[in-house]
Amino acid sequence: MMTRLLLLLVAALAVAAVAETAERRDTYIVHMAKSAMPAEYADHGDWYGASLRSVSSAKMLYAYDTVMHGFSARLTQQEASDMAAAEGVLAVNPETRYELHTTRTPEFLGIAGSDNLFPQSGTAGDVVVGVLDTGVWPESRSYDDAGLPEVPSSWMGTCMAGPGFDSSACNRKLVGARFFSRGYEAAMGPMDTSRESRSPRDDDGHGTHTSSTAAGSAVADADLFGFASGTARGMAPRARVAVYKVCWLGGCFSSDILAGMDAAVADGCGVLSLSLGGGSADYMRDSVAIGAFAAMEQNVLVSCSAGNAGPGSSTLSNVAPWITTVGAGTLDRDFPAYVMLGDGKNYTGVSLYAGKALPTTPIPIVYAGNASNSTSGNLCMPGTLSTEKVSGKIVVCDRGINARVQKGFVVRDAGGAGMVLANTAANGQELVADAHLLPAAGVGEKEGTLIKSYIASDPKPTATIVVAGTQVDVRPSPLVAAFSSRGPNMVTPEILKPDIIAPGVNILAAWTGKAGPTGLAADTRRVSFNIISGTSMSCPHVSGLAALLRSAHPEWSPAAVRSALMTTAYSAYTGGGQSGPILDAATDKAATPFDYGAGHVDPARAVEPGLVYDLGTGDYVDFLCALKYTPNMIAALSRGKTYSCAANKTYSISSLNYPSFSVAYSTANGEAGESGPTTVTHTRTLTNVGAAGTYKVAASVSMSGVAVVVKPTALAFKAAGEKKSYTVSFTASKSQPSGTVGFGRLVWSDGKHSVASPIALTWT
């Protein structure tokens, strides 16, 4: 009897679980074929509403009309299935939750005096950079509009009012501000307005930092607690800024992001900057890729962060070929701090701590792993440290899992006097400075290991920490940031990503007045500028540079702008006594195109690239045909427009006119070394954007047994706008084990311009 009752109970619970799943509502984004609207409807909004009511009583969250045609709503699984089968519906995709990828850079990039480099930059005020992020702190001096002309008449944006944010907050610099929270609140419940503002106001700081990095006005005497003092300015200081708050405490939801992109393109932004990501997905299911495709169709460049999941391979976000994907590198500026041990040895780290210093006389130091009863005590997680064992001591915490600055708070809360934050193998020698709440220094893996060895070997280990301020002209620089996400591209291996790297480590920019520099609730300090790191910081650098290029060359397409940035980037050190390939901070060894794409951005050269690889909507549609997309799949990306792949035409991914080469060989047809020669041929077309001239090519790869042949080997251009095509064949004499990689570079040069493309070879 008992067994039977248990079986009945289990069955009842299972039925209840199924019923709960069936009734649970999630946000879905419904893509509609605009041309399929029945004649009885006056407009598409009416049709969308009727389509929704035919399967559900749910209310519509958003109707989209610029970057896609359709709507979003909270549906059950059955309702979503019914909607997908309805007339005129192209696709029904579940919502994705995205996360944020969280001074001296103009000098480092060589554009501190950009008036001569960008002679047409007086028109920069006609370019609006739309930043989709956490909002804006409009009182920041980075949004001062002094000297800017009136807002262009073509601008259609607005300044949305909300609690604590008046419509008068916008001006000739900050020309627009909107917020989008329906998707967030539908998924997470009503907003806690005591913690965040239902308005464009930035409660986090991230959005203010990114927008001011892209196009902030010049602000003299900017610093963080005296660190990195100087003039802070965005990459395009005369461009306008429009902010679209789509990210909240609970994340960034794709229904809100699409609504923000929809508004930004309709408002008239020329560049969109998105420092967020949600991993890699097929393009027709990736909301950012869908919005970016429509933006590209309407001549808007979209720049996105590559992600902070490095140094592991294949960790990229935002890999669609119509998106400019940006990784992160270091600057030539550092903030040294010294860990001075009782045995007389000193180790260099970094810190932005600005409070009361530790005594110059060494005090006891302890490893957190030995001061806790928790298996994760070494990480200084909340509640894991023993007050008795750390009180009055410097505590060595391992980096990882929880926030770096939170570890310091945990140490301080337990009575610790200071902290050494030790990198693990995941971060290697990369040093990221933080405005800690107690005396602290971050050190590399090697230094951390030596410090922990000293603690283990000395019965009474002691140390002190000395924070030394700001140091410039640090060499080597740049390094690829260890956290910067890496290739290969898991969605389309034949497209090399990231595209480029830009400064993303220890970047000074404007900050919110709502949060302290650490972002912790316990941090009551308030600052006008903050120093933070991430591909979130490198992305707006490229967004701002794209705005500069668009002002100098308004006739260039988004693809031409990206090409100019990529083909003029550098992958080896030049000047400053440096030489050799750019290094990877994670390994201290040479980085590869899977780490930096085409290389580190060099805007002084990008303004005059000589030649560009251009692309338009038709080229990307051919690319989708090569991926075997059906007309409905393409329509889901192209706002319902009808494109078909011709049955009598051969489509190839290698024909996409991309400024880089990714050659993917297959080992499926034989064991390594057994199969014969395999040739992969790419076709490219170059457009002359400079003077007449003859370009000659040089190409090589680092792997023996692979031959590279370019035909023709010279291209003669007689006038600007002229196009010339070439082919490049990569022949591998034999198969290699799966996972084998090789790299190289192809360069066209007329003696003045060098138009360079990275090459990546992979065997899968």
Measured at the alpha carbon of residue 643, what is the angle toward residues 638 and 648, in degrees to the nearest 5? 145
Q: Angle at CA 74, nearest 5°, toward 186 and 243?
A: 50
Q: Residue with structure tokens 């391992």?
A: 398
Whole-angstrom distance, CA of residue 642 vs CA of residue 636: 10
Q: Which residues, 6 or more positions from 560, have their beta carbon under 8 angstroms from its beta carbon?
A: 553, 612, 613, 614, 687, 689
- What does the alpha-carbon distance between residue 611 and residue 398 come to, in Å, rounded to a whole number? 48
Residues 382 and 521 sit within 8 Å (Cβ to Cβ): no
Which CA distances in Å does 553 have to 120, 130, 240, 267, 733? 8, 19, 17, 21, 44
Torsions phi, psi of 447, nearest 5?
-65, -40
User: 3-state class of 569 per DSSP?
Assistant: coil
Asked if 547 contacts 127 with a C-beta cutoff of 8 angstroms, the reply is yes
Q: Is 196 exposed, middle or buried (0-12, 13-18, 19+ CB in 10 A)?
A: buried
Single out the residue of 579, 313, 309, 311 nearest to residue 445, CA to CA: 311
| Tokens (6 digits) for 560 | 């031409």
CA–CA separation, 542 and 111 (whole Å) = 13
- Report the distance separating Cα 119 and Cα 140, nearest Å: 28
* DSSP structural state of residue 535: H
The owner of tokens 């001062």 is: 144
How far apart CA 409 and CA 395 sit, in angstroms, is 12
Q: Which of 518, 460, 719 is closest to 611 using CA atoms?
A: 719
Sign of torsion over alpha carbons 103, 108, 113, 119: negative
Helix (H) or strand (E) holding 47: helix 44-53
Residue identified by tokens 């933070």 is 532
Would you say the C-alpha torsion 212, 100, 660, 582 has a positive or negative sign? Answer: positive
Question: Looking at the DSSP assignment, which residues form a beta bridge with residue 741?
Answer: 762
Hey, what amino acid is at 565?
Answer: L
Q: How far is CA 451 from the centre of its chain?
A: 34
Q: Which residues are catalytic?
A: 133, 206, 536
- How big, in percent rounded to 5, are the helix, strand and coil portions of the chain? 25, 30, 45
In eight-state DSSP terms, residue 582 is P
- With tokens 């391979």, the residue in question is 313
Cα–Cα distance measured from residue 68 to residue 80, given in angstroms and rounded to the nearest whole number: 18
Q: Phi-psi category of 649—alpha, beta or left, where left has phi over 0 and alpha has psi -120 to 50? A: beta
Q: Per the structure block, which two tokens stand in for 709? A: 């042949």
Side chain identity, residue 508: L
The dihedral formed by the CA atoms of 30, 34, 38 and 44, expressed in degrees to the nearest 10 = 70
When computed from its CA atoms, the radius of gyration of the chain, rounded to whole angstroms, is 27
Write phi, then psi, for 130 (nearest 5 degrees): -90, 120
How wide is the angle at C-alpha 210 spanned by C-alphas 353 and 515, nearest 5°?
A: 50
Contact 62, 71 (CB under 8 A): yes
Q: How many Cβ atoms sit within 10 Å of the Cβ of residue 356?
A: 7
DSSP-based three-state secondary structure for 399: coil
The continuous run of DSSP H or E covering 464 comes out as: strand 462-467
Distance from C-alpha of 240 to C-alpha of 151, rounded to nearest angstrom: 8
